[in-house]
Chain A
Amino acid sequence: MAKAVIDALVARFPDAVYDPYVGVGGDDCAFVQRDRIDEVARFLKTDPAMRFDLAPYITAVDYLGQDPRFEVVYNLLSLANNVRIRLRVKVPEADPVVKSVTPVWRGADWFERYCFDMYGLRFTGHPDLRRLFMYDEFVGHPLRKDYPLRGRQPLVPEREVHDLFRGPGPATRD
């Protein structure tokens, strides 16, 4: 069934959906062109044969070192047909902008804010693109692979502590 969905997608958007494959767990996956994802999403949501009415999880991946560095992953679920598919959108580092699917699935709101917060991807058409987890004073995007591992940015000045293992010193040392 999921294979049929992907085949229908490729048939309908031959220049937008490419490289279908069977992913881990048996879900059928495909790549989608970056500027066509809203169109594909709208089709999947509204087409009476598809009825993908849920986007249970949307996340991003940072492939540091590869050319389109980022990737947004859309996990979609059709409750009516009991089908799950996964769409992947490659996003280059120089222009990390994707079209938002929040107008299609209202629940994608916080997932896209999460991707913006953690990876710095921007979603055009999103109604309220703010950080989701980190505070507004935070600089950078912590789940990018080039973000320093312990790059803490304390909101309040920290007290001097005597560390049992590392000895006394400024709290911001690590």
Chain B
Amino acid sequence: MASEIDVIPALTTRRDEAQGWLEGIVSKGLGWARKYSLFQYPFVTACCGMEYMTVASARYDLDRFGAALPRFSPRQADLLMVVGTVNCKQAPILQRVYEQMAEPKWVIAFGVCASSGGFYDNYATVQGIDRIVPVDVYIPGCPPRPEQVLDGIILLQKKIQDQQHKLIAPSLPVIGQAPGRP
């Protein structure tokens, strides 16, 4: 396929430009589509779950932001909301749920316990789920106000819009195979 056109630098650059422009359009479009169709998996372990129900139901209504449907299977979800305290015994479960989700996926740490362990600075509690899975948005509060959660969702949407999206994603390493793990 090495035709003469390919070895001319100027034309190659313009082809890259054209490709990049097209990819940019596709990325923006996919980002727009994905940020408004967040299917969440609520990993609810503690009292923040009550606040999550408030946010998800009619009064505060996550549906306005396209994040309406909780899917109770991680394979159908692309937003993992970790709501509540995660202790050391639950950490393998959380990791497994995260690994079961299909790419692209995002994680929100809902409340201080999920973000940093909160006041459970003891032998049993994971000091923030970012020690187990990568986190995109942290929502503080004990529990957070619904407005904070909505703000976190909007932040995540901005982040998703700014990310690079591809129609066919290259195979990404799962965290089970990340370096530094046996």
Contacts and interface: CB of A to CB of B under 8 A. Distances in A.
A140 to B, nearest CB: 9
B121 interface: yes
B157 interface: no
Contacts of A161: 128, 130-131
Given A134-B89, A154-B91, A159 B122 contact: no
B89 A159 contact: no
B124 A142 contact: yes
Interface string B127-138: 110111010000
A150 B95 contact: no
B81 interface: no
B127 A155 contact: no
Given A142-B123, A161-B130, A155 B181 contact: no
Nearest to B133: A159
Contacts of B180: 157, 160
Contact of B89 (A135, A157, A174): A135
Interface in A130-172: 133-135, 142, 147-161, 171
Interface of B is mostly: loop
Contacts of B91: 154-156
Interface in A89-138: 133-135
Contacts of B131: 154, 158-159, 161, 171
B88 A159 contact: no
Contacts of B95: 156
Given A134-B124, A142-B123, A147-B123, A153 B134 contact: no
A142 B88 CA distance: 13
Interface string B87-103: 01101100100000000
A72 B116 CA distance: 35
Which of B123, B124, B180: most chain A CB closer than 10 A? B123
B83 interface: no
A150 B88 CA distance: 12
Contacts of B89: 133-135, 155
B182 interface: yes
B153 interface: no
Given A134-B89, A135-B88, A156-B95, A151 B130 contact: no
Given A134-B89, A161-B128, A152 B123 contact: yes
A160 B92 CA distance: 17
Interface string B108-128: 000000000000011110111
30 contacts: A133-B89, A134-B89, A134-B124, A135-B88, A142-B123, A142-B124, A147-B123, A149-B122, A150-B121, A150-B122, A150-B123, A152-B88, A152-B123, A152-B124, A152-B127, A153-B88, A154-B88, A154-B91, A154-B131, A156-B92, A157-B180, A157-B181, A157-B182, A158-B126, A158-B132, A159-B132, A159-B134, A160-B180, A161-B130, A174-B127
